[in-house]
Structure 1
Amino acid sequence: MELSDLLKPEAIRVNTGCTSKKRLMHDVADLAHAAYGINSGTAFESLLERESLGPTGVGHGVALPHARIAGLDTCVGVFLLLEKPIDFSSVDRQPVDIVFGLFAPEDAGVEHLKALARVSRLLRDPAVCTKLRANQSVVTLYTILTEEEAMKAA
């Protein structure tokens, strides 16, 4: 599972006005709607439902909100870089500024877990997160997120 299979440049945003976790979930859902046509209300409710099971803030300023969506054919992702970190109830209690939202088909099993593991591995790398935080260009952010697989292919 490669990130370029999950994410397209249109699904990346530098978010300037997010001030709360709930607002962030709306922004993730809205971006999923704009990039993939996912119903934003359904996406928002599904994200909140998943979040009620336990926070998806994984530490070091990174959150991986995810949800299963009926009618979706494949896993897709959205990426937001927040200009100002927000409280996300993360495991390390650090505010979040890097957010990768993942949406999977309702009946996805292994595919969803592989996608989540792939994103998690990438965003556990401090060098990658430093590069992401230092850039505001959607094109550059997409390149950073997918460059590891491009290097493997070369």
Structure 2
Amino acid sequence: MALEGTVPPNLGNLSFLVSLDLGNNSFSGHLPNELVHLRRLKFMNLSFNKFSRQLPSWLGALTELQELILRNNSFIGTIPPSFSNMSKLESLRSYSNFIRGMIPQEIGNLLNLKNLDVENNQLIGPLPLTIFNMSSLQIHCFHKEWHIW
């Protein structure tokens, strides 16, 4: 829709929202903390924008989320361990950002996770051993030490 600017905090007042698709716009800056009030959200697409701040740890409080798409932004920082609270999450797509560090051990708590797409970031280190207990998981990554597809 070619929307630009920042995401308005008032969006967090839509407490009955189950799907939020802000993809393919030109939103920038950070995600307002007020979005934590979207507790019924099952789908969130933030892809192809210009978000450039840390991945907010409060996203982990959205425990009904089944799909979180963060692709093609400029998110920085690490994957917050609080993401492991999204117990219904089936797909986490964070392709093409500036996420660094290691994938947290807590990711193994996401027993419904089927798709983890972390390609084209700045992740380092080995995969956490907890990932190997997730039989339906497909990992998409580009790291010389990781060979799971």
If the length of structure 2 is used for normalisation, what is the TM-score?
Answer: 0.25
| Larger helix share, 1 or 2 | 1
Which structure ranks higher in relative contact order (CA pairs < 8 Å, sequence separation ≥ 6)? 1
